[in-house]
Each structure stands twice: as structure tokens, then as C-alpha cells.
Amino acid sequence: GENVEQHPSTLSVQEGDSAVIKCTYSDSASNYFPWYKQELGKGPQLIIDIRSNVGEKKDQRIAVTLNKTAKHFSLHITETQPEDSAVYFCAASKNDMRFGAGTRLTVKP
Amino acid sequence: DAGITQSPRHKVTETGTPVTLRCHQTENHRYMYWYRQDPGHGLRLIHYSYGVKDTDKGEVSDGYSVSRSKTEDFLLTLESATSSQTSVYFCAISERLAGEKTQYFGPGTRLLVL
């Protein structure tokens, strides 16, 4: 089955800096890659997703890139703000969805 | 929040007792899922449903059963709870967008098995 690895497990940045979280997947048939943000005590919230026929997608300060050949995809957050502090999960899906272990992002004011 | 509620939100129980968690959705989605979330493991699929009375196992199904008698409700049962089932449980629903099943999560149930 699919295996998703996510790095780093923790990330601390200064407010205004950029943050990058990387994921790799094992199943070349995976064709859908969502990213979730989870705040303390809440369920994961979808923040952006990308499909395998697209290399990059951007939504305001958030962007995701996909390299199908290398089987990795990344989340980029620019101009980070304290409210971006949360745990972020990547996932890869063909028929079922497999999640990375998560990255705890801390944005220091 | 995609119209998903989970109950109870918190539960403490003892080893060996049965426990049932409920997921309720208001938007008539066909697909429903149960995940558990543990530190270092992300979210792992327990069981899922693709329609009323249609369910299948996920990655970590041992010790769990599910039932879906109505479109809006998906129940997760721990027949005899063990300490290893202490976790946060999330229900999710999905809608099909361009062929892929985007999933939306409920608020979670925190379960402690003593």
C-alpha cells in the first residue's frame, strides 16, 4: 500500500519568514495530494490540494508543488503569521488516503 | 465543518468495556470514514463506508467494528476496549471532486481507556 513520509516533524520560524514542509510517497498511481491544518483540539481542516495533472497550485500565502517523477510534494507558506502555528498533515490518495505523520509548525512573533 | 458532528467528544472507560462512538453528517455524503490519530502516526484509517450497510476495513481495523444503518450515521464500536485503543478518533466524509474523494473531518472524540 501507499506510504507517505513527511519532514520535518517540527519546524520553528520567525514571523514573516517562509516555511516549507516536504512529503514523499511510494505509490506512483497516487493522483491526489491534499494538505490539512490541525489546530489544538480540532479536526484537520483542508487548506489546499493538488492533483497529479498539475505541478503547482497557489492560494494567497500558501502554495503546493508536486514532482511526480521524484514522487514528492511540498507545502510552502510565505509571510508566516502566528496564526499559522498548527500541525500540518500531507496525504496521498489513489483509492484510499494515506497521511504523513505531521509537522508541528511554530511561528514566533 | 462540513456538517459533521461526533459524540461523545470525550470519554473515559475501563479495559474490557464496550464503547460506541457516533458520527453524524447532515449533507447526505455517500462516503464516511473512521480514523484514529496517535503521536508519530498521523491519521490511520480504521474502517470506511461507501453506502448504507456497505463497509470495509482499513489499515488498523483489528478490535473495531462499524455499522451504517442510515446515510447520516456511522458508528464505531470497540467491543472490548483495551489501553492500546486510547486515542483521538476522527470521523470524515468525502465528496467526489473531479474523480478524487476530498475528505472533511469532524471535531474528534478523545477516548481514554484505563
CA distances from A108 to A14, A61, A74, A80, A85 (A): 5, 17, 22, 9, 9
Report the C-alpha gap between A8 and B61 in whole angstroms. Answer: 28
Indicate the pLDDT class of residue A9, thresholds 50, 70 and 90. very high
Mean pLDDT of B8-26: 97
- Provide the shortest C-alpha distance from residue A25 to chain B (in Å): 14
Residue A36 reports pLDDT greater than 90: yes
Please report the pLDDT score of residue A14 as a whole number: 98
Please report the pLDDT score of residue B1 as a whole number: 56
Indicate the pLDDT class of residue B96, thresholds 50, 70 and 90. low
pLDDT in tens, A79-90: 999 999 999 999
Report the C-alpha gap between B26 and B94 in whole angstroms. Answer: 12
Contact by Cβ (8 Å): A101, A22:
no
Q: A51: nearest CA in chain B?
A: B100
Identity of residue B93 = I
Mean pLDDT of A38-49: 95
A27 contact B CB<8A: no
Indicate the pLDDT class of residue B98, thresholds 50, 70 and 90. very low
B104 contact A CB<8A: yes
A66 contact B CB<8A: no
Mean pLDDT of A89-109: 93
Please report the pLDDT score of residue B41 as a whole number: 85
A86 contact B CB<8A: no
pLDDT in tens, B66-84: 999 999 999 999 999 999 9
Identity of residue A73 = F
Residue B95 reports pLDDT greater than 90: no
Longest dimension (CA), chain A: 41
Q: Answer whether A46 sits within 8 Å of B90, measured CB to CB.
A: no
Residue A72 reports pLDDT greater than 60: yes
Mean pLDDT of B84-92: 97
